[in-house]
Amino acid sequence: MPQQLTINRLHVYSLLILLSIVSPLQITNAAPGVSASGPTPGKYCPAPGILLITAEDLSSSLDLAMRSRTALERKDRVETLNTLTAIGGILQQAAGRGASARTALLIDSIIFARPNEDNEHLLTWFPMLHTALLALPDEPAPRAADEAVSRAEEILQGDRKGDVLDELKEARHLLRCDGLNLPLQAAIVEQSRLFFKFQDHSKPLTTKDYEKILESLRNAINFILEQTSNVD
């Protein structure tokens, strides 16, 4: 009997040692932005090549913002307005770089259409959305996003209970890269604010008003530089 107990203890110890070795390996080998419970929203970032192209857009926008601020100091209204307008176009282009970003923007369009379209009309968007999702790599985040989109479609068809917008927002966030998208969207909001404030003569635009857009652009560029620092 003592010998049997000794063998059982050795067996248990061996299992514990094996588990302590295997568990870290499983965690280490997990895909970036993917936890044991599934992909983490906001962690699906573009490939380095797409990030570097986006960095060009952001750098151009930063340069234009500085030029616009300088033109404002010189009281050159034409140059100020032209540069602000150009920033808006470039930032919108940057927001759509990469297949996942384009798909997220398509989901945005459906979300914006929700208040003005009935379920039947909204359902006409989904074949195009599923096609866009199929074009993405077979990875956890796109798969989870497609599942959320399918749930939204089933809710619209009356086959499932739930909130269509919640499912679509979840799908959109799964395809986002928060480190890039949050400062980029902040810059887009600031560009719009600067543009309309410049045209509203009740409260003059000042050079200090440019601080937020400059900070947002720098944050977005810094994120890309950190993500691509080891890329040849």
Domain presence at residue 85: yes
SS (H, E, C) 92-138: HHHHCCCHHHHHHHHHHHHHHHHHHCCHHHHHCCHHHHHHHHHCCCC
pLDDT digits (tens, 9 = 90+) for 19-56: 333 333 333 334 455 555 689 999 999 999 999 999 99
**Tell me, what DSSP letter sits at residue 124?**
T
**Residue recorded with tokens 């890329």:** 231
Domain presence at residue 69: no
* 156 class by beta-carbon count within 10 Å (0-12 exposed, 13-18 middle, 19+ buried): buried
pTM of the model: 0.81
pLDDT of residue 189: 98
Q: 46 with 202: CB under 8 angstroms?
A: no
Domain presence at residue 141: yes
pLDDT of residue 14: 46
Domain presence at residue 208: yes
C-alpha atoms less than 13 angstroms from C-alpha of 219 in its C-beta half-sphere = 16
Q: What is the mean pLDDT of residues 63-82?
A: 97
Q: What is the mean pLDDT of residues 122-148?
A: 96
Domain presence at residue 221: yes
Q: Residue 1 pLDDT > 70, yes or no?
A: no
pLDDT digits (tens, 9 = 90+) for 172-212: 999 999 999 999 999 999 999 999 999 998 889 999 999 99
Domain presence at residue 206: yes
Domain presence at residue 5: no
Residue 12 structure tokens: 């248990």
Expressed as residue numbers, the domain containing 164 is 48-64+79-90+97-227
Domain presence at residue 191: yes
Q: Where are the beta strands (DSSP E) in the chain?
A: 34-35, 38-39
Q: Give the three-state DSSP class for 135.
A: coil
Number of domains in the chain: 1
